[in-house]
Chain A
């Protein structure tokens, strides 16, 4: 009846996961009850859960990423604490628990923090920057988000019911095969990522179509803001790379469920095929995460230097070059498998070549500041912190691309420090910069500056105190994923890294505090003009938060930095006071399709993990039926009448004109 599921799946004898799960369950229940008592459910259902508005979906993606950041961060604290104490002792985490934690940490941070954060920001901002009213496929967008949430949910269920993978964040066979991992941990991993991978793929298709097909009048490719370019590049990579991940994990699933032999030791299975396939996805994945961050930095550096982005065309070229070359370097993840000197050297050099366009980007941001008026607001602090940190991460990355150096450093804590250096230094800093930069656009008020700056400094210093010691430990020969160790020389560096983790945790806590403080002070921080930073691109040309239709009248673009031009124009000639010609606007109707689909996908995923076959059928039929019902719909759009559009837009324009007049006087 319940497949492999029985009471032994609940870790009653292990206090740490049990208490953790209890706290999480209690928190979720408390929130649910509170929302019920306050009567928020109808509002949440109408305005958020069933919403197909790209801004709402973007916000939900980012919220998911931030909640998962707390989970992944907790894992990080536990790991660093274990390595701080586990010298000549077993520490406080037994191996089977420690191994789950580092596997969950990596999986969550990449798939459920990095990915939703950048996809959320792209969802929120790209249609606004392109000057359009929505993404290409609004309901699909909602489906994509909810499937991602399903993956995150399943991974967290593994905390309470059963176990998570003990194989690392990439489940290398044969360790991940049934022979060596007979538990359900690897199944939680594969099904979570299969389901959320579909979500990511549809998000990628949606955003690529949006950038290619939905641009406002005059928004030619070479007038698009950099963030739209990096979105295009990143989502092209998603479309090209994620099917590889899905297929690779499907092969692992076939091995585990049906006795196939793709990657087993026996019957001609080949583990190196898995290594090649997973990194053929895995290396582009790094650029899927980092390219949008590069786009964010381009926007932020230009805005806060009050200056045009230097070398725009160079930046576009560099972005697309990275997009293509990133597919040709995957073998550098296993130079030490003995592939032979020619292969190693060619992939090493290919990996280094990526450093050229990346270096160009750094110099272009540098020269964007040159001759500007740099304002050190929080997003700009993250950007400068990124530039310096990322250069160091780039240096160690190129070093690891030199095969003989990699022969000493592969899989060491040096490698761990390197990829945290680029993922935290670029992706996370970029996500935080984008979060602070675009928060007023999403909610109509700015984030508190003082707590934001404090959070930045703690995170920056915490990062260096945590990861510089790990570089050293790697040079001292310490390999990753050690549950305990006996080498005295490593100990001080582990303690230093532990202290750094405390600083990082304070940084994250300050970000949470910042949100509370900002909500309390929202009236002081209100952004009435829709343009709090003196922005340059079209997202600042509408109110904060934008109306459901984004723009009352679709803007007409005449060059790069579209909104900057409008403002300059208005300052000079005092034009644009004519009342626009308002028309009825058609917008897509909300749909519960995404949520219902994801509900059934969750049921199906859980049932597949535990071999509960009737439930698998139920989930599959339910998800498919939801899709059919959606496909049969008669009305998919509603009309916002011109009078309503005019009413909303007049208040917005009035505030904006007042601000522009003020700027005109100042000049």
Chain B
């Protein structure tokens, strides 16, 4: 999950900006830290060779320098931020080979549902994508906020109920990578990790075909079951019954997740969600 081991263009560009920004700042930070130690050491009280000028409190030249060095650095970094924000806008589409794959991600308590509307399939806690193809994500949440994040593929994005966020990524190497939720979402939060399988463009249709033969169907009923607070261990795959399911979730035509079921009347007062695991 090392962000310095990027597997796609977005992750690589994010990481490059990160490293460049640190380098720009180190150029003034390192000399400043050295100067702090040097001044403190040289002007120690016990050093008879150091001069002492107790009333020296102003120098126009030094003032000019100390205001302009941070200002110039910030102008440079501000440029990096401006250009970087525009080039790496999560909503901006990414180039790639082949036609984009649309994926609709829904964060549930406490699992991820990935819907492939064009392929009419859906998976839980596992994301399978073809290598080199633009990945076009639409995201929402069934209940509380979460953040969709695959460190090696790049930019993260929030999921919120009643709202749709957009994210565009591309994976450039086959393999299995880890994704997680980067926003605390309750007792089952640490279980919200998921696998990202990046497969060859030839293997992807095969995977789609085999998944489409799943005997489990995702419809309003099985979605309601999923939306209940639970931690899942089996990575289920579904045939998608309703291609507009994501739209119904994000527009709340399907109601938000129900939250905790209370154990007993008397335990309501403090127990809350009870034991998640």
Q: Are A308 and B57 closer than 8 Å at their CB atoms?
A: yes
Q: Which of B127-174 contact A (CB under 8 A)?
A: 143-145, 147, 149, 151-152, 154-158, 160-163, 165-167
- Contact across chains for B186 and A166 when beta carbons are under 8 A apart: yes
Q: Check if B145 sits within 8 Å of A271, measured CB to CB.
A: yes
A312 within 8 A of B: yes
Minimum CB distance partner of A318 in chain B: B67
- Mark contacts of B1-42 with chain A using CB atoms, 8 A cut-off: 1 yes-contact digit, 0 otherwise: 111100000010111011001100110010011011101100
Q: Which residues of B contact A166 (CB under 8 A)?
A: 186-187, 272-273
CA distance A309 to B55 in the complex (A): 9
Select the stretch in A25-33, A472-480, A649-657 that faces chain B.
Answer: A472-480
Q: Is B66 an interface residue (CB 8 A)?
A: yes
CA distance A189 to B80 in the complex (A): 40
A394 to chain B, nearest CB (A): 8
Complex CA–CA separation, A370 to B81 (angstroms): 35
| Chain A positions within 8 Å of B260 at CB level | 180, 182
Docked-complex contact A404 and B269, CB < 8 angstroms: no
Collect the chain A residues with CB atoms within 8 Å of residue B207's CB: none
A373 contacts B45, C-beta separation under 8 Å: yes
- A402 contacts B35, CB within 8 Å? no
> Could you say which residues of chain B place their CB within 8 Å of the CB of A412?
182
The A288-309 residues at the B interface (CB cut-off 8 A) are 305-309
Find out whether the CB atom of A398 lies under 8 angstroms from the CB atom of B77.
yes
Partner of A175 from B13, B144, B182, B277 at Cβ < 8 Å: B144
Stretch at the interface among A249-257, A340-348, A538-546: A340-348
- CB of A371 within 8 A of CB of B143, answer no
Closest to A415 in B: B182
Stretch in A330-338, A425-433, A570-578 with 4+ CB within 8 Å of B = A330-338
A315-339 to B contact mask, C-beta < 8 Å, 1/0: 0000000000000000000101110
Given contact pairs A305-B43, A356-B74, A404-B88, A179 touches B17 in the complex (Cβ within 8 A): no
Query: Is B32 a contact partner of A483 (Cβ separation < 8 A)?
Result: no
Q: What residues of chain B lie closer than 8 Å to A337, measured between beta carbons?
A: 157-158, 160, 165
Complex Cα spacing A334 to B158, Å = 9
**What is the distance, in angstroms, from B52's C-beta to the closest C-beta of chain A?**
6
Please tell me if the beta carbons of A353 and B32 are within 8 angstroms of each other in the complex.
Answer: no
| Complex partner residue of A266 from B154, B193, B252, CB under 8 angstroms | B252
Q: Is the CB of B145 within 8 A of A475?
A: no
Establish whether residues B36 and A483, one from each chain, have CB atoms under 8 Å apart when the complex forms.
Answer: no
Q: How large is the interface on B (under 10, 10 to 19, 20 to 34, 35 or more residues)?
A: 35 or more
Interface string of B87-122 (1 = CB under 8 A from A): 111111000000000000000010000000000000
Report the stretch among A5-13, A122-130, A207-215, A547-555 that lies at the interface: A5-13
- Surface stretch bound by B, among A91-99, A443-451, A615-623: A91-99
Q: How far is the CB of B117 from chain A (nearest CB, A)?
A: 20
Among residues of B, the one whose C-beta sits closest to the C-beta of A11 is B270
| B64 to A: closest C-beta gap in Å | 10
Task: Kindly identify which residue among A182, A314, A479 contacts B272, using a CB–CB cutoff of 8 Å.
Answer: A182
A591 within 8 A of B: no
Contact in complex: A391, B33 (CB < 8 Å): yes
Q: Given A8-B266, A336-B158, A479-B180, do A374 and B40 touch, yes or no (CB 8 Å)? A: yes
Q: How far is the CA of A409 from the CA of B147 in the complex (A)?
A: 12
The CA of A643 and the CA of B235, in the complex, are separated in Å by 86
- Inter-chain contact A96/B85, CB cutoff 8 Å: no
Q: Is A352 an interface residue (CB 8 A)?
A: yes
- Contact status B84-A265, CB under 8 Å: no
The residue that A360 contacts in the complex, of B66, B80, B274, with Cβ under 8 A, is: B66
Indicate whether A387 reaches chain B with its CB closer than 8 angstroms. Answer: yes
| Partner-contacting stretch, out of A236-244, A279-287, A361-369, A624-632 | A361-369
Contacts of B59 in A (CB 8 A): 367
Distance between Cα atoms of A216 and B11 in the complex (Å): 59
B271 within 8 A of A: yes
What residues of chain B lie closer than 8 Å to A663, measured between beta carbons? Answer: none
Bound-complex Cα distance A266 to B52 (A): 69
Please, which residues of chain A bring their CB within 8 A of the CB of B155? 336, 404, 407-408
* B45 in contact with A309 (CB, 8 Å): no
Is the CB of A163 closer than 8 A to any CB of chain B?
yes
CA distance A375 to B267 in the complex (A): 60
User: Does B158 contact A96, Cβ atoms closer than 8 Å?
Assistant: no
For residue B18, which residue of chain A has the nearest CB?
A: A405
In the complex, are the beta carbons of B52 and A373 less than 8 A apart? Answer: yes
Instruction: Say whether A336 contacts B156, CB under 8 Å.
Output: yes
Digitize A174-195: 1 where CB-to-B-CB distance is under 8 Å, 0 elsewhere: 1100011111110000000000
Residues of B within 8 Å of A356, CB to CB, are 67, 70-71, 74
Q: Which of chain B's residues have a CB closer than 8 A to the CB of A579?
A: none
Determine whether the beta carbon of A5 is less than 8 Å from that of B269: yes
Contacts of B84 in A (CB 8 A): 402-405
Once A376-B44, A408-B154 are accepted as A-B contacts, the answer to whether A310 and B57 lie under 8 Å apart by CB is: yes
A166-B187, A370-B56, A395-B29 known; 9 new pairs, CB 8 Å cut-off, are A336-B90, A360-B66, A366-B36, A394-B29, A398-B74, A404-B87, A404-B155, A475-B3, A477-B152
A sample of 7 cross-chain residue pairs with beta-carbon separation below 8 angstroms, ordered by A number, consists of A8-B271, A90-B277, A337-B157, A337-B158, A366-B39, A369-B43, A391-B33
Among all A-B residue pairs, the 7 with the closest Cβ atoms: A477-B1, A359-B70, A477-B151, A183-B272, A363-B66, A407-B155, A345-B85
